[in-house]
Amino acid sequence: MDIKSKNTSKENINEEEIIVSDKKIKNNKRNILSSNNSKYIIYILTVISLACTFLLGIEIKDNLGYVIPERVYLQTQVANDINDYTSLVEDYSLYYKSASYAKDKDNITQNDIDICKAELLDKANNEYDNYRTSKYNDDSFNSLTYEQQEKILEEQREKIDEKYTLSDEEMNEYILNRKSNSASNLNNKIKSYVNLNFRAYDKLNDVWIGGSEIDSTEIIENGRYFKEINIDYNGNIIEKIYVNGKEIDKNNILGKFIDNYSYSTRFSNYSYENTSIAQLKYDYSEKHNITLYIWMPKELKSGDVVSESFKGVQHNVTSFYLSCITFVIFLVLTIFCLLYLAKYKVKVALIEKIINKVKGYPIEYKIGVGIIGWIIWNIGPHIYYNSNNYIRRLNLSSIIWVSIVVVIYYLLVRVIIVSYNEGTLLKNNITIKVWNYLSDVMNRGSIIRTFLIMTALYVAMGLVLFFLSAMLYIWPIGIIAGIILTIVYIIIFIKDLVYLDKIMVGSKAAAEGKLNYKIDEKGRGHLRELAHDINNMRDGLKKSVENEMKSENMKTELITNVSHDLKTPLTSIINYIDLLKRENIQPETAMDYVNILDKKSQRLKVLIEDLFEASKAASGAMELNIAKIDIGQLLKQALGENDERFKDSNLNVKLNVPEEKIFINGDGKRLYRVFENLISNIVKYSLSNTRVYIDMYKEEKEVIIVMRNISAYELSFDTNEITNRFKRGDSSRSTEGSGLGLAIAKSIVELHGGSFNIEVDGDLFKSIIRLK
């Protein structure tokens, strides 16, 4: 029993220890959770209090004018009332001066006449428009013809114009009544400001306007506000402002502040009547030399807008001090939270996790986050105004937006510090990578792609400068940097354009056959590579031309030598054949053989002569005996000598030659050879029983000869190659021909400074000769 009781007691002790340990674990978890929650609460409280401190600080700055007397008269609604009063006084002093002045016809100006004429014209136009509208709504009027309608409207227009056309006396009376009423209305408006007074001294006429002469020194000492405005002959304005007996110095802090606010005079020349023409520009051609005095007494009276504005100022002063007290409370709370976080080195796992993850990002991402924060700061918070125009910045929406900005910049600063300490701040720099990529593309890429990249880079840098200038308020520096960037871009662009122009000149020279022209290869990049490639092409073309010329010379020399070597034995053969033909050769079949030999030798002779002519034409060795010839007569002669050939081929020639003689300077023998070759070509290849059209006409300074015939064969050749040597249109070579006729004709025509072209349209073969 004792052993059992002992075991039982041990088990109970173990269970109690387990329960105690479980409670400790749960308590530790609660403590940890409580600790984490308190950290989050402290951080959130710090962010919110800091946001409220920022907003209240800006709110105090915005409303500072309500507690500084000078700013009350320059920034608040009181300043607006003074400016409105000043405008009324200026109009009265410069234009109306007094009730008697406004009623005097001697004071009518051209400006008055222009105003009233415009006013009367506007009244006439309105009355006519109303009449015309009413007529167009009248069915009886709409049933009339267009001419009848126009006549009625024109008659009514004349009546209305006559109604509003005043004589000089009537115009003067109209102007004086108008000015008198306006002066009275304006004077009543001025008197409605019971807490503001004015005097104006007209130096030109030595007259005080608005009352008797005043002692400005006494008013300045005893009043709360005094303004002196001097307007000289040229319209220049000089102002002096006194508040509580002291002049506001524009060189001190307050003066610099009020320069941002407009308190200059304006000239509107109001009519102060309920007329359609409310105002016109002031007539600056009139000379004035007036000093205006506007002041406000120490003791204010109730009953006008100025006294109401001062009540609003007093209410805003109370709001201002409440804002200051609230600002101090949040500032103390912010300092307490920051000291607590610094003392206990409080860290939140989520924030540390974000920092560790973001610290390795490129610096451009961090700058982008900073820009986003700046954008939120400028567009997120809302501004509210109370009934007295007091600026309220502390509101729920603004607190949320500014808290987001605080968190963004807190994380950004922490990330930058950690990255800097670890030496990874500039690691993975996107700007350097982009620059290296652009440099590589600009060195290897096309001109268009490089230009687009440079332009995009220029625009991007311009946008960066713009946003930086906007964020940091450094517009002058941004403008100067933008100008420098633009100048650099233009210099680089113009430099490349000049070099590109030189390359184009070089390529054009190479295209024109000036193969000794070399483009300077300077700099680096695609333009230099382009110049290098063009130079290589030029060198290759030069070598190719030299080789081609060498080959042509060798061909010409070979043809000349062969022709010369064949000509001597061929002459002997022809002579011996001629001797054989004179003998009585038996049998007759032997004579047939001799005739065949004679025919073939004669054809061979023609072929050798063609080769010789072609070689001379190609080498430029052909000599021309230039003389004045009748080209039409030469053509007729060639056709006449080949008339039998046309008849044998059943070809009907239609010749169209002008009756008047056409003379040109040329070699008659060579041009006859051209016609003979073309006629021979027509006879050989034309379809039997067809017409051949030969036209000659003069066009400006050229003689044009066109020969057209229908081919007996399919014209499947290239017209650009048919004039080459040994090129035949009959690829089967079933007809006699050497393939040199057209080539010789083209060479002779070109030696005469003309042109020779072939055109094909189906089976129609056309030869066109142009001679100057």
Pair (496, 574) in one structural domain: no
Dig out the tokens for 522 from the structure: 């300077």
* Rg over CA atoms, the chain: 54
Whether the predicted pLDDT of 475 surpasses 60: no
Cα–Cα distance for residue pair 751/769, rounded to 1 Å: 13
- CA separation, residue 544 to residues 264, 353, 511, 649 (Å): 83, 72, 14, 46
Pair (462, 601) in one structural domain: no
pLDDT value, residue 730: 53
Question: Among 267, 299, 331, where does a domain finish?
Answer: 299
Q: Give the highest mean pLDDT range of 17-31, 387-401, 566-580, 615-629.
A: 387-401
Tell me the torsion sign for CA atoms 441, 443, 444, 449.
positive
Shortest CA distance to 631 belongs to which of 573, 702, 540?
702
Shortest CA distance to 442 belongs to which of 454, 433, 434?
454
Pair (618, 660) in one structural domain: no
pLDDT in tens, 325-364: 999 999 999 898 888 887 777 676 777 777 777 777 787 7
Cα–Cα distance for residue pair 161/44, rounded to 1 Å: 78
Q: Which residue has the tokens 């400016």?
A: 83
Dig out the tokens for 569 from the structure: 């034995």
Q: Which domain holds residue 606?
A: 536-622
Shortest CA distance to 289 belongs to which of 333, 330, 234, 337?
234
- CA separation, residue 254 to residues 27, 69, 258, 410 (Å): 63, 11, 6, 35
**544 neighbors 515 (Cβ within 8 angstroms):** no
Pair (554, 696) in one structural domain: no
pTM to 2 decimal places: 0.47
Amino acid at 581: K
Cα–Cα distance for residue pair 597/270, rounded to 1 Å: 122
- Paired residues of 392 in beta bridges: 384
Amino acid at 232: D
Pair (558, 629) in one structural domain: no
Whether the predicted pLDDT of 699 surpasses 60: yes
Pairing of the two strands 690-699 and 651-656: parallel
> Helix (H, G, I), strand (E, B), or coil: what is residue 729?
coil
Dig out the tokens for 709 from the structure: 């015939």
Pairing of the two strands 223-231 and 764-771: unpaired
Q: What is the mean pLDDT of residues 469-480?
A: 62
Using omega within 30 degrees of 0 as the cis cutoff, is the peptide bond preceding 587 cis? yes
641-675 burial: b if 16+ Cβ within 10 Å, else e: ebeeebeebebebeeebeeeebebebbbebbbbbb
Q: How many helices (H) and strands (E) does the chain have?
A: 23, 15
The reply to whether 168 falls in a domain is yes
The reply to whether 338 falls in a domain is no
Cα within 13 Å of Cα(646), Cβ side: 19
Cα–Cα distance for residue pair 348/46, rounded to 1 Å: 13
Q: In CATH, what number is assigned to the domain containing residue 650?
A: 3.30.565.10
Q: Which residue has the tokens 């990049």?
A: 525
Banded model confidence at residue 278, pLDDT cuts 50, 70, 90: very low
Pair (459, 595) in one structural domain: no
**481 neighbors 465 (Cβ within 8 angstroms):** yes
Dig out the tokens for 93 from the structure: 């002093």
Strand order in the sheet with 197-202: 207-209, 197-202, 290-297, 223-231, 237-243, 246-247
Higher local confidence (pLDDT), 537 or 177? 177
Residue 471, number of CB atoms within 10 A of its CB: 14
Banded model confidence at residue 127, pLDDT cuts 50, 70, 90: very high
Banded model confidence at residue 62, pLDDT cuts 50, 70, 90: confident
Tell me the torsion sign for CA atoms 215, 216, 222, 225.
positive
The reply to whether 393 falls in a domain is no
Residue 316, number of CB atoms within 10 A of its CB: 23
Banded model confidence at residue 446, pLDDT cuts 50, 70, 90: low
Residue 656: what are its φ and ψ, rounded to 5°? -130, 95
pLDDT value, residue 409: 85
Contacts of 107 (CB under 8 A, 6+ apart): 101
Q: What is the mean pLDDT of residues 603-609?
A: 70
The reply to whether 33 falls in a domain is no
**How many folded domains does the chain comprise?**
4
Average pLDDT, rounded, for the chain: 77
pLDDT value, residue 34: 47
Pair (551, 596) in one structural domain: yes
**664 neighbors 629 (Cβ within 8 angstroms):** yes
Pair (639, 579) in one structural domain: no
Whether the predicted pLDDT of 468 surpasses 50: yes
Pair (754, 696) in one structural domain: yes
Cα–Cα distance for residue pair 447/638, rounded to 1 Å: 59
The reply to whether 11 falls in a domain is no
Pair (279, 176) in one structural domain: yes
The reply to whether 370 falls in a domain is no
Q: Which of 214-223, 321-330, 375-384 has the lowest mean pLDDT?
A: 375-384
pLDDT value, residue 452: 64
Cα–Cα distance for residue pair 469/295, rounded to 1 Å: 42
Higher local confidence (pLDDT), 3 or 277? 3
404-427 burial: b if 16+ Cβ within 10 Å, else e: bbbbbeebbebbeebbeeeeebee
Show the 3-state SS of 463-487. HHHHHHHHHHCCHHHHHHHHHHHHH
Whether the predicted pLDDT of 451 surpasses 80: no
Question: Among 622, 637, 658, where does a domain finish?
Answer: 622
Q: What is the mean pLDDT of residues 201-229?
A: 89
Cα within 13 Å of Cα(605), Cβ side: 14
pLDDT value, residue 535: 77
Alpha carbon of residue 26 to chain centroid: 71
Higher local confidence (pLDDT), 24 or 82? 82
Cα–Cα distance for residue pair 311/388, rounded to 1 Å: 9
Q: Which of 95-104, 471-480, 549-558 has the lowest mean pLDDT?
A: 471-480
pLDDT value, residue 264: 37
Higher local confidence (pLDDT), 205 or 257? 205
pLDDT value, residue 158: 92
Pair (456, 489) in one structural domain: yes
The reply to whether 259 falls in a domain is yes
Q: In CATH, what number is assigned to the domain containing residue 547?
A: 1.10.287.130
The reply to whether 649 falls in a domain is yes
Q: Strands, DSSP E only, in 159-211?
A: 197-202, 207-209
Question: Among 264, 299, 334, where does a domain finish?
Answer: 299
Pair (588, 681) in one structural domain: no
202-241 burial: b if 16+ Cβ within 10 Å, else e: beeeeeebbeeebebeebbeebbbbbbbebeeeeeeebeb
DSSP 217-247: HHHHHHEEEEEEEEE-TT--EEEEEEETTEE
Q: Is 555 exposed, middle or buried (0-12, 13-18, 19+ CB in 10 A)?
A: middle
Shortest CA distance to 62 belongs to which of 327, 292, 250, 341?
327
Length of the chain: 772
Cα–Cα distance for residue pair 160/121, rounded to 1 Å: 10
Cα–Cα distance for residue pair 211/97, rounded to 1 Å: 11
Whether the predicted pLDDT of 625 surpasses 90: no
Cα–Cα distance for residue pair 353/580, rounded to 1 Å: 120
